[in-house]
């Protein structure tokens, strides 16, 4: 086995990291799901066991990359290992649909082991530490694995406790506080929407990194549409409506990409939604929400219903490792997905430092680049700087319509259907069926098997 290789030139690499659960429970935070018919063997950990590739994380990125590597035909059985403690793998983008009453959460999960090809080795346990100078990782059991190449894709942590009072409020079945960002809490959202007949509804978005930055307002638009159809909200005369709606976001605008932010701001104004910009929720106190504004001022707003998006960040075992940058994410090159210091370390998905929106769609573009460059590295080749930051956010704007935001680094739109003359900032029914029906299907049918390339279609090799 080659010793840990350090990059000595600035023309290094890049990576990204995907969702990974830290607890082996049904509520483990898992990005999306996986799909293969065969079941992986879950054998005991072998101390100091060597693998050509160790993949940390069995979420969307970890599974997609593992299977794309396997499909290259260059690895023997158990050359590639996956480390993940989760029992279940969740298609997390579907939790917005659960919150809107369109899906049930159980239909969006699969046993993790059932999604792993039997030629891959699954260590169904947690990871403790990285030792990249020794090409070694230490598992939660204390056992060690050595590797030739390491892919770090454990996702990020959704931290309910980051907002004072939120864990208790979200767990209380009698409160009208909910959150679509965890398996345990997402199913509470729609019943709270259904039972509200009047009063103030607040939907929040926190400061910092958020998985799928459009989701905090997707659930708001669905709730607004539900109340409109129930006669409880009139977009043209919100002041006379039984229900009042406010969007409280730590951002200065509706969305991080100017084109779509402009379109969403127009929707907000047309539909009479109050905009509480640069309001970061820090506490839930009964029916009072406490926000901190950009200037440090604290503001308290009473609510009758509140959907809360908690703060998120890197897992401690990544943040405290030699692989992390100052923000705690795996420090990779923006275009190659290769680590900036360790040449045999890669990352994709949410745990990576890639400066793009953290979505499943981003992984469809990141995984082929990482796979190609890792395989080239095994043969002594150079990394190709092929990732341009592509990501996508299908923004539900009502039941039956979606604004399909697609963009790359710098917030530059990169729209798949522009060649057909369609402006994707205009909500359309066809995009709604992509979000509701096609994406969940193709995720389990192809993506986690390594055969879906997003806008580029199916991967045949």
The answer to whether residue 186 is catalytic is no
Q: Please compute, for residue 105, the number of CA atoms within 13 A of its CA located in the half-sphere on the CB side.
A: 24
CB 337 within 8 A of CB 13: yes
As a whole number of angstroms, the distance between CA 335 and CA 384 comes to 8
Task: Pick the catalytic residue from 212, 306, 318, 354.
Answer: 212
C-alpha span between 232 and 31 (Å, rounded): 34
Q: What is the DSSP string of 166-235?
A: HHHHHH-TTSSEE-TTSHHHHTTHHHHHHH--SEEEEEEE-SS--BSTTHHHHHHHHHHHHHHHTTS--T
HSE-up of residue 404 (Cα within 13 Å, Cβ side) = 22
DSSP letters of 54-70?
A: EEE--SHHHHHHHHHHH
Catalytic residue (choose from 40, 378, 393, 459): 393
Distances from the Cα of 328 to the Cα of 209, 227, 229, 315, 357, angstroms: 11, 41, 44, 8, 16
Give, as one character, the DSSP assignment of residue 328: S
Given a contact cutoff of 8 angstroms between Cβ atoms, the answer to whether 369 and 268 are in contact is: no
Phi, psi torsion values for 418, nearest 5 degrees: -60, -35
179 carries an active-site annotation: no
Residues catalogued as catalytic: 212, 393
């Amino acid at each position: 086995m080659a010793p840990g290789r350090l990059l000595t030139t600035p023309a290094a690499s890049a990576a990204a990291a995907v969702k990974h659960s830290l607890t082996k429970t049904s509520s483990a935070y898992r990005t999306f799901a996986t799909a293969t018919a065969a079941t992986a063997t879950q054998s005991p950990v072998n101390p100091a066991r060597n693998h050509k590739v160790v993949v940390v994380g069995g979420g969307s990125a970890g599974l997609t990359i593992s299977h794309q590597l396997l499909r290259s035909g260059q690895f023997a059985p158990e050359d590639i290992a996956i480390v993940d403690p989760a029992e279940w793998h969740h298609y997390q983008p579907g939790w917005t649909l659960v919150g809107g009453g369109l899906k049930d959460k159980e239909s969006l999960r699969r046993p993790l082991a059932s999604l792993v090809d039997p030629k891959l080795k699954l260590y169904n346990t947690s990871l403790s530490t990285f030792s990249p100078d020794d090409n070694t990782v230490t598992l939660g059991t204390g056992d060690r694995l050595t590797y030739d190449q390491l892919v770090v894709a454990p996702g990020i942590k959704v931290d309910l406790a980051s907002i004072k009072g939120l864990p208790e409020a979200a767990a209380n079945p009698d409160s009208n506080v909910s959150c679509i960002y965890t398996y345990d809490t997402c199913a509470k959202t729609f019943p709270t929407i259904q039972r509200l007949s009047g009063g103030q509804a607040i939907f929040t978005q926190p400061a910092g990194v958020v998985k799928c930055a459009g989701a905090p307002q997707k659930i708001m638009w669905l709730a607004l549409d539900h109340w409109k159809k129930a006669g409880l909200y009139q977009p043209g005369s919100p002041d006379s409506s039984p229900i009042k709606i406010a969007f409280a976001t730590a951002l200065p605008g509706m969305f991080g990409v100017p084109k779509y932010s402009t379109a969403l701001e127009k929707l907000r104004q047309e539909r009479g939604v109050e905009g509480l910009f640069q309001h970061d929720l820090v506490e839930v106190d009964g029916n009072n929400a406490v926000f901190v504004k950009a200037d440090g001022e604290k503001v308290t707003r009473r609510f009758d219903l509140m959907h809360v998006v908690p703060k998120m960040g890197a897992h401690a075992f990544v943040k405290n490792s030699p692989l992390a940058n100052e923000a705690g994410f795996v420090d990779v090159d923006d275009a190659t997905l290769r680590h900036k210091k360790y040449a045999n370390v890669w990352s994709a998905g949410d745990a990576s430092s890639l400066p793009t929106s953290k979505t499943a769609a981003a992984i469809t573009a990141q995984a082929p680049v990482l796979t190609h460059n890792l395989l080239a590295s095994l043969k002594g080749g150079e990394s190709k700087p092929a990732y341009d930051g592509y990501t996508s956010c299908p923004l539900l704007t009502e039941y039956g319509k979606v604004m399909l935001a697609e963009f790359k680094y710098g917030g530059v739109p990169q729209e798949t259907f522009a060649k057909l003359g369609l402006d994707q900032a205009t909500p359309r029914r066809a995009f709604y069926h992509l979000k509701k029906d096609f994406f969940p299907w193709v995720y389990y049918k192809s993506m986690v098997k390594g055969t879906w390339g997003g806008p580029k279609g199916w991967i045949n090799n």
